[in-house]
C-alpha cells in the first residue's frame, strides 16, 4: 500500500525508541475466549502485530481468560486460526489464567502494604458506598480491617471457605476520587466455577482491572493498546503497576472500529447465532473473521482495509462498502474468470452442425501468467433469461429477434426465432452463428456491442448459488433505537438452487477465488459435497451499496 503518515501510536513508539526508553517493542493481542473474533478484532490485530512488524518488535497472543463462566476452548482454537489466517505470527501463546498464582501474590502484596482489604459488603452495598460522580463515596466498615485479618480472610477466600458473593477483595485507593473506578474497586471475587484451563483449582478470580495491566507487566509489554472505553481504567492500570513496583507497561487507547449495517460485539453476535438469525458464527453474513473467510474475503484485503481506515482517537462509523472495495480490488487481480448462468434460457444454434468443439478462454486478463482453460461449445447452450427480450428497447445490446451478440470466447450469434409455451413463457431461442467470428480469430468484420456469458447445455453442472445482502437494514445499528434485532434484514440471503456452471468449476477448491463473468466474485462454500457444489458471492462487481 502507498505511503501514509504516521498514526499517533506509531509516533509514540518512534519517540520511545528514539529516546531509548525501549530498545525494542512488545505488543499483545488480548482476546477473551468468549466468542469468535470480528472485524473490530481484525483492526486490533493489524494494529498490534503491524506495529511490531514495522518496528522489529514482537507480539504476544494472550488469552484474557479470567472469567470462567463464558469462556471455552472452542473459542481459543478459532481465535488462533483467525490470527494466523490474517497473516500474523505471535511470539508467545499465553493465558492470563497461567498468571493466577502470580496475580494472587500481587494481591497479597497489596494487602501487606495496607492497600487492599477484604470486604463482606454485598454488591448492592458496595455500589451504594461508591456514591455518585458528584459526591464522595462512603467508606465500607471493613475498610479498616488489619493487615493480618485481611491476609487470613483472603487465604480463606482462596481455600473455598465462602460462597459466591460473600466476600470480595478491594483495593484501598480513594473513596472520594473523581474517577469512580478508583473508589476502592473490587479486585477479586469468589466464583465457584469450573475454568476451561485451570479446572477447579481456583474459586476466586481477579477482575479485569487487576488482571490485565499486571499480565501486561508480567510479559514486559511495552505498549498496551486498547479501545477508548478503557481511558477511565488507565489510572487504575498505572496505580497497580506503581504500587506493586512491577514493569511499567503503558496503556494507549484508540477508537474502536464500528461499521455500517452490522454490529461489532461478541455478545450481540452470540445472540444472532443462538436465536437462529444466522446459521453459525461463520455464517457468511456475519462480520466475524471466520465468516469473511468463508465468504471469500482475503487476508490481504482485510489488512489493506485496516491500513486505509487508520488509527483514530475518536469514535466513527466506517462504511462497509470500503471493505468491499478493498476485497474487490484484490479479487480483480487474483480471481479466475468463469461462466455461470443463474437463470437459464436454452439457445439452439441451428447451423452449428459439429458435435462439439473445445474453445479456450483466459483465466484472468489481469494476470499475464494466468493461462487459459478449455470451454466446450455445442449446438445447445444456456444464456441468462434476462439476456433475451422479445421486444427490445433501444440500446439493449443483448439478444432480441434479429439482433446479434458475441458469446464470450466463442462466436457471434444472431437471433432468428424463439419458442413460447402455452402460458406465453419463452422456452427457447433459436440462433445461427457466424463461423468466421471465432474469438481470437475473427475475420467476419462484424461489430457487436454485447458479450454474453453462456454454458454448453450438455456440459453444464448444476450448482447452488448463495447471494448475500447486508445483515441489517439500518446504517448505524449500534445507535438505533430499541433492540438491534428489530433491524435484521429479512432478505439478507438469496439462494439460487440450480444455476448452470461451466465444467471447469467441477475442480473448484475452497482456496480458489473466482469471478463469475458479469455476476461478481465467488468462492466455494464448505457446505459443498461431491454431488452438489455451493458457491458464495463474496462481493458484487460494482458497488451496489451506494445510497
Ligand atoms: P466485544 O465487545 O465484541 O466482546 P471485546 O473488546 O470484549 O469485544 P476482547 O476479546 O476483550 O473483546 O478484545 C480483544 C482486543 O480486541 C481488545 O484489545 C479490544 O480492545 C480489541 N477490540 C475489540 N473490539 C474492537 C473493535 N470494535 N475495534 C477495535 N478493537 C477492538
Ligand atoms: Mg472483553
Ligand atoms: Mg466487550
**Domain final position from 453, 474, 505:** 453
- Has the ipTM of the complex gone over 0.85? yes
**Strand 93-95's sheet: what is its strand order?**
26-29, 58-63, 93-95
Q: Which residues are known binding-site members for L-glutamine?
A: 64, 208
| Domain assignment of residue 545, yes or no | no
Q: Which of 502, 508, 428 is nearest to 458 (CA)?
A: 502
Let me know whether 216 and 148 are in one domain: yes
| Domain assignment of residue 24, yes or no | yes
| Domain assignment of residue 374, yes or no | yes
Q: Which of 109, 79, 72 is nearest to 210 (CA)?
A: 109
Q: What percent of the chain has pLDDT over 70?
A: 99
SS3 102: helix
Task: Report the CATH number at residue 79.
Answer: 3.40.50.620
* Stated pTM of the model: 0.94
pLDDT in the model for residue 69 = 83
| Domain assignment of residue 439, yes or no | yes
In SS3 terms, 469-482 reads as CCCECCCCHHHCCC
Ligand 1: list residues with CB < 6 Å. 30-32, 40-41, 43-44, 64, 226-227, 256-257, 264-267
Enumerate the active-site residues: 32, 256, 266
Ligand nearest to the CA of 264: 1
Taking the centre of ligand 2 as the mean of its atom positions, its distance from the CA of residue 102, in whole angstroms, is 21
Taking the centre of ligand 2 as the mean of its atom positions, its distance from the CA of residue 90, in whole angstroms, is 20
Q: Are 377 and 357 in contact (CB under 8 A)?
A: yes
Let me know whether 13 and 143 are in one domain: yes
Let me know whether 244 and 277 are in one domain: no
Q: Supply angle C-alpha 360, 363, 369, rounded to 5.
A: 105
Taking the centre of ligand 3 as the mean of its atom positions, its distance from the CA of residue 476, in whole angstroms, is 18
Q: How far apart are CA 47 and CA 227, in angstroms?
A: 12
Q: Which of 490, 518, 192, 96 is nearest to 340 (CA)?
A: 518
pLDDT in the model for residue 544 = 61
Q: Which domain holds residue 366?
A: 340-453
Kindly provide the residue ranges of all beta strands, DSSP E only, lying in 115-185, ordered along the sequence: 116-119, 168-171
pLDDT in the model for residue 454 = 98
Residues 6+ apart with CB under 8 A from 407: 377, 381, 383, 413, 451, 452, 454
pLDDT in the model for residue 543 = 74
Model confidence at 478: pLDDT above 90:
no
Mutate to test the pocket of ligand 1, among 48, 227, 229 (most ligand atoms within 8 A of CB): 227
Taking the centre of ligand 1 as the mean of its atom positions, its distance from the CA of residue 311, in whole angstroms, is 15
In SS3 terms, 397-409 reads as CCECCCCEEEECC
Q: How far apart are CA 22 and CA 279, in angstroms?
A: 47
Let me know whether 74 and 213 are in one domain: yes
Number of domains into which the chain is organized? 3
C-alpha cell at 86: 490474517
Let me know whether 469 and 435 are in one domain: no
Let me know whether 283 and 180 are in one domain: no
Atom 10 in ligand 1: which residue has the minimum CA distance? 31
Let me know whether 481 and 498 are in one domain: yes
Model confidence pLDDT, tens digit, residues 374-428? 999 999 999 999 999 999 999 999 999 999 999 999 999 999 999 999 999 999 9
**Domain final position from 419, 453, 487:** 453
Let me know whether 512 and 363 are in one domain: no
**Domain final position from 224, 254, 284:** 254
Atom of ligand 1 nearest to the CA of 227: 20
| Domain assignment of residue 259, yes or no | no
Let me know whether 87 and 226 are in one domain: yes
Cell 474497586, residue located:
185
What average pLDDT score do residues 141-168 get?
98
Model confidence pLDDT, tens digit, residues 432-442? 999 999 999 99
C-alpha cell at 435: 463461423
Q: DSSP assignment of 324-335, as one string?
A: HHHHHHHHHHHP
| Domain assignment of residue 122, yes or no | yes
Let me know whether 69 and 188 are in one domain: yes
Task: Report the CATH number at residue 319.
Answer: 2.40.240.10
Let me know whether 78 and 122 are in one domain: yes
| Domain assignment of residue 234, yes or no | yes
Let me know whether 383 and 491 are in one domain: no
C-alpha cell at 193: 466455577
pLDDT in the model for residue 73 = 85
Mutate to test the pocket of ligand 1, among 31, 59, 66, 249 (most ligand atoms within 8 A of CB): 31
Model confidence pLDDT, tens digit, residues 334-374? 999 999 999 999 999 999 999 999 999 999 999 999 999 99
| Domain assignment of residue 3, yes or no | no
Amino acid at each position: 500500500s502507498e505511503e501514509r503518515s504516521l498514526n499517533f501510536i506509531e509516533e509514540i513508539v518512534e519517540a520511545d525508541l528514539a529516546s531509548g526508553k525501549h530498545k525494542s517493542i512488545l505488543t499483545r493481542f488480548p482476546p477473551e475466549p468468549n466468542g469468535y473474533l470480528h472485524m473490530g478484532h481484525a483492526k486490533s490485530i493489524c494494529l498490534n502485530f503491524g506495529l511490531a512488524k514495522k518496528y522489529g518488535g514482537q507480539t504476544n497472543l494472550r488469552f484474557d481468560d479470567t472469567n470462567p463462566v463464558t469462556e471455552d476452548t472452542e473459542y481459543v482454537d478459532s481465535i488462533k486460526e483467525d490470527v494466523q489466517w490474517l497473516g500474523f505470527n505471535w511470539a508467545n501463546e499465553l493465558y492470563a489464567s497461567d498468571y493466577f498464582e502470580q496475580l494472587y501474590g500481587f494481591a497479597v502484596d497489596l494487602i501487606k502494604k495496607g492497600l487492599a482489604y477484604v470486604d463482606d459488603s454485598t454488591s448492592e452495598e458496595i455500589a451504594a458506598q461508591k456514591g455518585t460522580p458528584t459526591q464522595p463515596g462512603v467508606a465500607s466498615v471493613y475498610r479498616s480491617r488489619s493487615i493480618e485479618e485481611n491476609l487470613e480472610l483472603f487465604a480463606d477466600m482462596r481455600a473455598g471457605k465462602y460462597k459466591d458473593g460473600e466476600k470480595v477483595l478491594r483495593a484501598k485507593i480513594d473513596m472520594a476520587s473523581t474517577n469512580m473506578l478508583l473508589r476502592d474497586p473490587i479486585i477479586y471475587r469468589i466464583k465457584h466455577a469450573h475454568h476451561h484451563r485451570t479446572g477447579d483449582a481456583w474459586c476466586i478470580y481477579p477482575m479485569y482491572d487487576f488482571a490485565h495491566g499486571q499480565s501486561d507487566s508480567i510479559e514486559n509489554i511495552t505498549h498496551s493498546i486498547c479501545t477508548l472505553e478503557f481511558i477511565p481504567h488507565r489510572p487504575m492500570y498505572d496505580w497497580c503497576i506503581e504500587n506493586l513496583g512491577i514493569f511499567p507497561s503503558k496503556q494507549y487507547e484508540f477508537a474502536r472500529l464500528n461499521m455500517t449495517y452490522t454490529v461489532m460485539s461478541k455478545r450481540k453476535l452470540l445472540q444472532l447465532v443462538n436465536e437462529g438469525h444466522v446459521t453459525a458464527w461463520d455464517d457468511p453474513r456475519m462480520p466475524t473473521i471466520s465468516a469473511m473467510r468463508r465468504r471469500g474475503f482475503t487476508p490481504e484485503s482485510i489488512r489493506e482495509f485496516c491500513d486505509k481506515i487508520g488509527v483514530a482517537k475518536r469514535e466513527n462509523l466506517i462504511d462497509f462498502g470500503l471493505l468491499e472495495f478493498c476485497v474487490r480490488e484484490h479479487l480483480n487481480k487474483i480471481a479466475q474468470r468463469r461462466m455461470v448462468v443463474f437463470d437459464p434460457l436454452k439457445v439452439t444454434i441451428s447451423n452449428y452442425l459439429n458435435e462439439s468443439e473445445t474453445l479456450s478462454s483466459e483465466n484472468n486478463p489481469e494476470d499475464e501468467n494466468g493461462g487459459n482453460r478449455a470451454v466446450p461449445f455445442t449446438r445447445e447452450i444456456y444464456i441468462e433469461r434476462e439476456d433475451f427480450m422479445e421486444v427490445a428497447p433501444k440500446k439493449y445490446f443483448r439478444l432480441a429477434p434479429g439482433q446479434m451478440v458475441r458469446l464470450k470466447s466463442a462466436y457471434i450469434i444472431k437471433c432468428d426465432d424463439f419458442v413460447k409455451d402455452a402460458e406465453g413463457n419463452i422456452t427457447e431461442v433459436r440462433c445461427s452463428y457466424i463461423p468466421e467470428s471465432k474469438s481470437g480469430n475473427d475475420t467476419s468484420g462484424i461489430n457487436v456491442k454485447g458479450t454474453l456469458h453462456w454454458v454448453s447445455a450438455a456440459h453444464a453442472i448444476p450448482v447452488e448459488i448463495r447471494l448475500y445482502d447486508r445483515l441489517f437494514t439500518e446504517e448505524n445499528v449500534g445507535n438505533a433505537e430499541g433492540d438491534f434485532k428489530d433491524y435484521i434484514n429479512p432478505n439478507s440471503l438469496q439462494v439460487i438452487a440450480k444455476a448452470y456452471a461451466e465444467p471447469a468449476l467441477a475442480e473448484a477448491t475452497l482456496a480458489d477465488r473466482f469471478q463469475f463473468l458479469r455476476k461478481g466474485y465467488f468462492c466455494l462454500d464448505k457446505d459443498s459435497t461431491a454431488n452438489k457444489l455451493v458457491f458464495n458471492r463474496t462481493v458484487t462487481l460494482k458497488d451496489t451499496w451506494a445510497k
